[in-house]
Structure 1
Amino acid sequence: MKQITVVSGKGGTGKTSILASLAAISRGRAVIADCDVDAPDLHLILKPQVREKREFSGMKMAVIDPSRCNSCGSCEEHCRFGAAMSQKIDPLLCEGCGVCSLVCPADAVSMEERLSGYAFISDTRFGPLVHAQLFPGEEASGKLVTMVREISREVADYHDLELILIDGSPGIGCPVIASLTGSDLALVVTEPTISGAHDLDRILGLVSHFGIEPLVCINKFDLNPELALSIEERSMDWGAKIVGRIPFDPLVVEAMVAGMAVVEMEGQVADAIVDMAEMISSQL
C-alpha cells in the first residue's frame, strides 16, 4: 500500500485543489483522506455521503465529585487557566493538564474523556473518503489526524485499494507531522512568492527529517517566473524533484465555485495536473 501526502508550508497554495484533482484522476482506485482536521474543506469539492461516524476523544477534562470535595481551594489556587472554581470545572477553560487532580487532598478530582469531534467514512464520486470534524476550541488535532489515517488504512484493506491520497494541514506543526509520518511520497505545493519560498524551506526540512521522498509542485508559476526558477533551485538543493508547474488560470476559481475538481474542466491547468499525476505515478 502506497501513501502520498500533499502538504504546503503555508496556506492558500492550492494544496486541496490539487489533491481533489489527483483523487479525480485516480478514478476510485484510491482512498482519500482529509487530514486538515482543524479546517477541512475537501468535502466542498467531493460532496461526501456519510455512511459511518466514529467518536473522537482528545484531551481529558477535569471533573470534581462534589460529594468528596471539601472546598479547600487547592485546585483553584494551582490552576493556571482559571478553570477550577468552587466545586466545579469550567469546560471551556480546562486544558486537561491534570494538576488539579494531583493537588486535591480529598481525591475529589478525576480526569475524564470528553467528546472532541468525529471521524467519518464517506462515499464520493472519486472513491471512499475519510475525513473528520474537530469541535471548536478542542486540542489534540494530531491525534485526530492519526485516527483518520488509521481508518484510511482499514478502508483501503476492505476495498483492496493500494493507494491512499492524504490532504495534509498547512505549516509544519503537529497535524502536519501526523499527516506525513509513514508516507511514501510528499508532494509539496508552493507558489512563487516570498512567503511561499520561505515556507517551502521549512516544510522540505520537515520532510527530509522523516526521510520521506519529496516532490515539489509550483502552483501559478508564471506569475513570477524569476522566483519560480529560484524555488526550483532551492528544491533541488533539498533533493526534491519538480513534478509540476501549474500555470495561473481563472478556470481554477470557476471549478471551485462549481464544486468541481479542476481536472473535471478542460484547460491548461487540468492538462498540467494530469502530466504531474503521471510523473508522481512514475515515482511510486
Structure 2
Amino acid sequence: MKQIVIISGKGGTGKTTISSSFSELMDKRNIADCDVEAPNLHLMFENEIINTKEYIGSQTASIDTEKCIKCEKCLQCRFGAITPEIKVNPLKCEGCGLCEYVCPADAVKMVDNVTGHIYSCKIKDGYLSYAKLNIGAEGAGKVVTEVRKNSLENQGFENLLIDGSPGIGCVVIASLTGCDYAVVVTEPTTSGLDDLSRVLELTQFFDIQSYVIINKYDINEEKTSEIIDYCKKSGFEILGKVPFDNTVNKAIQNECPIVNYDCPAGNEIKRIWDDFYDKLK
C-alpha cells in the first residue's frame, strides 16, 4: 500500500482543502487524518463511526492515603505536583514516577490517563481514521502512529492518503515516517516560502519523493515566482498552482470538498490530482 502524506510548513495554507479534494477524487478511499491536534477531515465526509479506542497518552501519580506514612519523601517532586498535605495536583504531575520510586510504603502508584480517542469510520467507498486529543494532552506523535496503524489494517486499498500536521515537529515526523510520497502545500508569502523550505528539508532527510502545490498563487505572483525558482533550484516538482477562489469558503461552510464545485480552484485541483495519480501508477 503506497502512503501519500499531504503536509504544509505552517497552518492555514489550504492543506486540508487539498487533502479533502484528493480524498473525494479517489475511487477507493483509505484516509488517515493525522492532524490530531485539530482534526477536521471527518467534517467533509458523511461517516459512521464503527470503532472507538481510548488513547492512553500519559500517567499521573495516585497516593493511597491508607498506606501513606507521611515520610514526605515524595515532596522532592521538582514539578511541585505533591502538596504539603501529601496530595497530587494532577495539573502539575508530569508522570515521571519519582514519587513512586522513593516511596518506602508503596503508597504511590502511577495510573493511566485517557488523553484522547481514536476513531475508525466507514465513509463512501472506504474508511477514515482520525483522533481527538483532550485539551492540553501530550503524546500527539504517538497518537499519529496509532491513527496510521488503524488505516494500514484496512485491506484491499492501493493507497493510503494521510492528512498530516502542519510544521516540522514531532507530529509531522510521525506523519511522514514510512511514506512514499509527500505533497507539500504552500502559499505565496514570506513565511510560506520559509516554512516550505524547512518542511522540504525534512522530507529530504527521510528520502521521500516530494511535490509542491502553491495555493492562492495569484494573491502575490512575485512571491509565487520566488517559490517556483526555489523549487527549480532545489529539484522539487510543482504539481500546480491553485488560484484564490471565494468558492472555497462556501465549500468549507457546506462541509463539502471544493472539487464538487465547478470553479477555478476546484478545476485546478482536479487537474493536479489527475497528473499526480499518473505518477502513482
TM-score category (smaller protein): over 0.9
The question of 1:84 aligning with 2:82 is answered yes
The residue that corresponds to 1:16 in the other structure is: 16
Q: Deviations over 1:109-150 (max 9, x none)?
A: 222222111111112236311011111111101111000000
CA shift for structure 1 position 89: 1.7
Q: Which residue of 1 aligns with 2:48?
A: 49
Paired with 1:98 and 1:42, the residues of 2 have a C-alpha distance of 37
1:140 aligned residue: 139
Decide which moves more: 121-130 or 135-144. Answer: 121-130
Displacement of 1:224 after TM fit? Answer: 1.0
Deviation at 1:73, TM superposition (A): 2.2
In structure 2, C-alpha distance between the alignment counterparts of 1:126 and 1:15, rounded to whole Å: 22
> CA offsets per residue over residues 206-237 of structure 1, 9 Å max, x none?
11111111110000011111111111222233
Q: Helix, strand or coil: the match of 1:92?
A: coil
| Alpha carbons 1:79, 1:99 under 8 Å: kept | no
Deviates more, 1:36-45 or 1:146-155: 36-45
Match of 1:119 in 2: 118
Runs of 5+ unmatched residues, structure 1: none
The CA RMSD over aligned residues, in Å, is 1.4
Q: TM-score, normalised by structure 1?
A: 0.94
Letter in 2 for 1:41: N
Deviations 1:169-211 (A, max 9, x none): 1111111110110001010000000110111111111111111
Same amino acid, percent of matched pairs: 44
Which AA in structure 2 matches 1:209? F
Unaligned runs of 5+ in 2: none
Aligned to 2:179: 183
Cα separation, partners in 2 of 1:279 and 1:107, compared to 1, 3 Å: same
Shift of 1:162: 1.2
Give the drift of 1:258. Answer: 1.1
Secondary structure of the corresponding residue to residue 160 of structure 2: strand
Deviation >3 Å, runs of 4+: none
1:201 lines up with 2:197 in the alignment: yes
Q: What is the DSSP-based 3-state SS (H/G/I as helix, E as strand, rest coil) of the residue aligned with 1:6? A: strand
Q: How does 1:236-275 map to 2 (within 5 A)?
A: 236-275=232-271
For the residues of structure 1 that align with 2:202 and 2:104, how far apart are their CA atoms? 45
Q: 1:240 & 1:267 partners in 2: Cα distance?
A: 27
Query: 40-49 vs 179-188, which deviates more?
Result: 40-49
The TM-score, its normalising length taken from structure 2, stands at 0.95
Once residues 239 and 30 of structure 1 are traced to their aligned partners in structure 2, the CA distance between those partners, rounded to angstroms, is: 30
**CA–CA separation in structure 2 for the residues paired with 1:183 and 1:35:** 13
Q: Distance in 2 between matches of 1:237 and 1:126?
A: 40
Instruction: Name the SS for the 2:129 alignment partner.
Output: strand
Matched length: 279
Distance, in Å, in 2 between the alignment partners of 1:103 and 1:61 is 16
After TM superposition, give the deviation of residue 257 of structure 1 in Å: 1.0
